[in-house]
């Protein structure tokens, strides 16, 4: 089911076209990475989705409606924007209780949410003393209070240490894959999200550069297979004769393009060549990301 729909969205700030005719959808049960360098227009898109920015033209819809037309937004959409501000003198639990009351949710959800984001131990501590990573977790706790099915998260990995990023990865995948939520998560650091997302939408200078399943984008035409065998020269000749392009990586390792793992395995079997390793090589994601966004 389509949970989020961005259709021909355009938004300018003076002479800057922050978002320039962007169209994509996010389906329930999947995590979509919204990627692009700083200033690409990611935040403007997400703010449009949350009715914080009025588009010049086009639409940004959640379950077919504008955010501002949703009656119980906390129960439908969980949002974390960059630089979410908190009252420094308030405790984490009180901050969330306030959100529950404002959103007409049971107050006990505050404790539940703190537990889910790993902040139960500091529920009674003032937010003013929280690290950036703890604030990010608290913002996420606020987003899950209403048990929504759609999440819109702007750079949620900012300020998290590697353990925090690992935790976030599991958390977002759980929301999407176990609970069926649609998760749209922005980042300008591809490596932060590459192990989390199912689909990617890449933006550069306001324009959509590429979109699709992560696996398709990272393999594409350039897909290669790494093969290890003690009889590398013999296998290389056979692969080339079968039409593959073969690169000798080390004495016993080949990088093969133009044949998939199965075909390579069959060819080796026919010649009784033992393969000690066969693996699909992903092209370097960061490289793909840079190539797609550079010079645009």
Ligand X SMILES: Nc1ncnc2c1ncn2[C@@H]1O[C@H](COP(=O)(O)OP(=O)(O)OP(=O)(O)O)[C@@H](O)[C@H]1O
Q: Where does this chain bind ligand X (CB under 6 A)?
A: 13, 16, 18, 36, 38-44, 188
Chain centroid to Cα 13, Å, comes to 26
CB of 123: closest distance to ligand X in angstroms?
30
Q: Return the number of the residue (28 or 189) whose C-beta is nearest ligand X.
A: 189
Q: Give me the least distance between CB of 21 and ligand X, in Å please.
A: 14
Q: How far is the CB of 143 from ligand X (least distance, A)?
A: 18
- Total number of residues shown for the chain: 296
Q: Which of 236, 226, 291 is nearest to 268 (CA)?
A: 236
Comparison of 43 and 224: residue with beta carbon closer to ligand X: 43
CA 158 to the chain's CA centroid:
13
For ligand X, the closer CB: 43 or 229: 43
Closest contact distance (angstroms) between CB of 163 and ligand X is 23
> Minimum distance from CB of 247 to ligand X (Å)?
36
- With beta carbons less than 8 A apart as the criterion, state whether 28 and 181 touch: yes
Nearest to residue 212, comparing CAs of 39, 49, 25, 37? 25
For the record, the structure tokens of 33 come out as 């990475």
Q: Which is nearer to ligand X, 44 or 211 (CB)?
A: 44
- Which residue, 276 or 286, has its beta carbon nearer to ligand X? 286
- What minimum distance in Å lies between the beta carbon of 156 and ligand X? 13
Minimum distance of ligand X from residue 100's CB (angstroms): 29
Question: What is the Cβ-side half-sphere exposure of residue 270, based on CA atoms within 13 angstroms?
Answer: 11
- Choose among 293, 41, 48, 42: nearest CA to 155: 42
**Of 15 and 102, which CB lies nearer to ligand X in the complex structure?**
15
Name the residue nearer to ligand X (CB basis): 40 or 217: 40
Rounded Cα distance, 246 and 208, in Å: 34
Question: What is the rounded distance in angstroms from the CA atom of residue 40 to the CA atom of residue 43?
Answer: 8
DSSP string, 88-131: TTSBHHHHHHHHHHHTT--TTHHHHHHHHTT-GGGTTSBGGG--
Query: Looking at residue 14, what DSSP letter applies?
Result: T
């Amino acid at each position: 089911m389509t949970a989020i729909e961005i259709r021909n969205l355009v938004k300018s700030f003076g002479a800057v076209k922050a978002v320039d005719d962007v169209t994509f959808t996010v389906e329930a049960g999947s995590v979509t990475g919204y990627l692009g360098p700083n200033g690409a227009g990611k935040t403007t898109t997400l703010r449009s989705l949350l009715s914080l920015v009025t588009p010049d033209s086009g639409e940004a819809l959640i379950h077919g409606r504008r955010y501002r037309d949703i009656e119980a937004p906390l129960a439908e959409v969980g949002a974390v924007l960059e630089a979410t501000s908190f009252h420094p003198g308030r405790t984490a639990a009180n901050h969330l209780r306030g959100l529950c009351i404002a959103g007409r949710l049971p107050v006990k959800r505050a404790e539940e949410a703190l537990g889910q984001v790993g902040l139960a131990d500091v529920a009674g501590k003032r937010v003013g003393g929280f690290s950036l990573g703890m604030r990010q977790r608290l913002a996420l706790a606020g987003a899950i209070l209403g048990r929504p099915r759609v999440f819109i998260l702007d750079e949620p990995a900012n300020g998290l240490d590697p353990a925090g990023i690992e935790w976030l990865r599991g958390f977002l995948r759980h929301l999407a894959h176990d609970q069926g939520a649609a998760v749209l998560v922005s980042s300008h650091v591809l490596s932060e999200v590459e192990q989390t997302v199912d689909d990617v939408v890449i933006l550069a200078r306001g324009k959509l550069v590429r979109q699709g399943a992560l696996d398709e984008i990272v393999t594409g035409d350039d897909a290669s297979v790494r093969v290890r065998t003690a009889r590398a020269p013999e296998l290389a000749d056979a692969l080339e004769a079968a039409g593959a392009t073969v690169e000798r990586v080390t004495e016993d390792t080949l990088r093969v393009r133009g044949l998939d793992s199965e075909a390579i395995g069959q060819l080796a079997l026919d010649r009784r060549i033992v393969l000690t390793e066969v693996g699909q090589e992903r092209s370097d994601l960061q490289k793909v990301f840079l190539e797609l966004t550079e010079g645009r």
